[in-house]
């Protein structure tokens, strides 16, 4: 009897341990040490290299635009090109927000009143709206170029190539948009900044057209018609959609000043 009692006491104090990691377990507890754990590893060098490549693309488009465009079209890296499109849209959003600030300051100086005391301008919403709108609208010239190539029977190009063509061609406008944002927002030679931005945009559009003609390889008699059609359709669609959206956005902002203004779909979003 004494021996049985001693065995019972030893059973009561028995402890359980995980056979994998050796951790002590409570009664009924199951160790989860074998479950896969998600680890987030940030490679700082890879991020830095990517940023340098991104910056070099912009700089090289100023220095050797045709060679840079040829190289990027051969690389055909969709992720890199999509980042360019996002940054392009972000820079334009900043520029437009800065322009609104400049306009408000100019109107205030004309009427000798601080308009900001009476009207609250949603600069962040302006920036966000233009960013989203511009990113969506970039696919108009991309789509028109892609479809125009098929309509006028040029050399087959992929949609990825069309994206790369637009993104790399217009990469320099990132710097010009930032310059226009700074000059407008801080009222420092805003006119000069705008002129520089327009010149850079024209150059980028020219690079886009040259690259498009080069990779599409239209027949001689169709080249002029293809180019004209792409430019006209792209410009009309882009300006029509951009103008309509910006008009409705401004109407939405003005609703608090005009109680009769109820024809804007942005009123539903309480802009």
DSSP annotation string for 21-86 = T--EE-TT----TTS--------HHHHHHHHHHHHHHHHHHHH-HHHHHHHHHHH--HHHHHHHHH
191 is written with which tokens?
Answer: 């006119």
Q: Quick check: 165 and 204 in contact, CB under 8 A?
A: no
Residue range 162-202, pLDDT digits in tens: 999 999 999 999 999 998 888 887 777 767 878 888 899 99
**Looking at the domain assignment, is residue 245 inside a domain?**
yes
Residue 85 has pLDDT above 90, yes or no: yes
Average pLDDT over residues 201-222: 88
Q: What is the predicted pLDDT for the residue at 120?
A: 72
**Looking at the domain assignment, is residue 194 inside a domain?**
yes
**Looking at the domain assignment, is residue 39 inside a domain?**
no
Average pLDDT over residues 248-252: 76
Alpha-carbon torsion (184, 187, 188, 192), positive or negative: positive
Residue 258 has pLDDT above 70, yes or no: no
Q: Quick check: 146 and 159 in contact, CB under 8 A?
A: yes
Q: How confident is the model at residue 255 (pLDDT cuts 50, 70, 90)?
A: low
Residue 60 has pLDDT above 60, yes or no: yes
For the chain, the average pLDDT equals: 79
**Looking at the domain assignment, is residue 4 inside a domain?**
no
**Looking at the domain assignment, is residue 127 inside a domain?**
yes
Please state the separation of Cα 190 from the chain's center in Å. 24
**Looking at the domain assignment, is residue 191 inside a domain?**
yes
**Looking at the domain assignment, is residue 199 inside a domain?**
yes
**Looking at the domain assignment, is residue 70 inside a domain?**
yes
List Cα–Cα distances, 113 to 99, 116, 187, 193, in angstroms: 19, 9, 17, 26
Q: What is the predicted pLDDT for the residue at 137?
A: 93
Give ∠ CA 170-174-175 in degrees, rounded to 5: 120
47 is written with which tokens?
Answer: 């991020």
Q: How confident is the model at residue 158 (pLDDT cuts 50, 70, 90)?
A: confident
Work out the percent of the chain whose per-residue pLDDT is above 70: 78
Where in the sequence is the domain holding 83, given as residue range(s)?
64-269
Q: What is the predicted pLDDT for the residue at 220?
A: 80
CA distance 203 to 53: 22
Q: What is the predicted pLDDT for the residue at 115?
A: 67
pTM of the model: 0.73
* Bridge partner list, 25: 16
Work out the percent of the chain whose per-residue pLDDT is above 90: 22
What percentage of the chain's residues is helix, strand, coil (to nearest 5)?
Answer: 75, 0, 25
Q: What is the predicted pLDDT for the residue at 270?
A: 45
Q: What is the predicted pLDDT for the residue at 93?
A: 92
Average pLDDT over residues 41-45: 64
Q: What is the predicted pLDDT for the residue at 268?
A: 41
Domain count, the chain: 1
């Amino acid at each position: 009897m004494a021996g049985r009692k001693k065995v019972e006491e030893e059973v009561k104090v028995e402890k359980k341990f995980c056979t994998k990691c050796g951790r002590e377990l409570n009664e009924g507890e199951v160790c989860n040490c074998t479950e896969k754990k998600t680890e987030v590893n940030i490679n700082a060098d890879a991020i830095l290299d990517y940023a340098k490549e991104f910056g070099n693309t912009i700089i090289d488009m100023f220095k050797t635009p045709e060679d840079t465009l040829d190289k990027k079209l051969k690389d055909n890296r969709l992720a890199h090109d999509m980042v360019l499109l996002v940054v392009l849209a972000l820079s334009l959003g900043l520029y437009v927000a800065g322009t609104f600030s400049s306009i408000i300051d100019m109107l205030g100086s004309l009427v000798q009143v601080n308009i900001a005391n009476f009207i609250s301008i949603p600069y962040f919403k302006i920036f966000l709206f233009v960013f989203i709108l511009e990113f969506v609208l970039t696919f108009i010239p991309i789509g028109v170029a892609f479809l125009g190539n098929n309509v006028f029977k040029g050399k087959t190009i992929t949609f990825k190539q069309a994206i790369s063509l637009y993104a790399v061609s217009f990469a320099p406008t990132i710097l010009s948009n930032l310059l226009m944002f700074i000059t407008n927002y801080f009222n420092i030679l805003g006119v000069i900044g705008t002129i520089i931005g327009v010149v850079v945009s024209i150059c980028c559009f020219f690079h886009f057209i040259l690259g498009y003609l080069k990779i599409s390889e239209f027949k001689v008699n169709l080249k002029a018609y293809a180019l004209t059609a792409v430019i006209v359709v792209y410009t009309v669609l882009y300006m029509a959609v951009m103008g309509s959206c910006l008009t409705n956005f401004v109407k939405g902002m003005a609703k608090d000043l005009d109680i009769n203004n109820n024809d804007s779909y942005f009123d539903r979003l309480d802009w």
